[in-house]
Amino acid sequence: MTDMTIPLLEARSRADQSWHPRMYEWLVKVLATCSGSTLDWDIGAGEEWARVLNGGGTPVAYFRVDLPLVLVAKQRIRPWVLDEMRQVAVVVEYREADEPEFMVELNAFDQAFPTHQWRTETCSLDCFSANDLHWMTAT
pLDDT for 26-49, tens place per residue?
Answer: 888 888 888 888 999 988 888 899
pTM for the predicted model, two decimal places: 0.93
* Calculated CA dihedral for residues 89, 95, 96, 101, nearest 10 degrees: -90
Instruction: Using a pLDDT cut of 70, give the percent of the chain over it.
Output: 100
Measured distance CA(50)–CA(38) in Å, rounded: 11
pLDDT for 57-71, tens place per residue?
Answer: 999 999 999 999 999
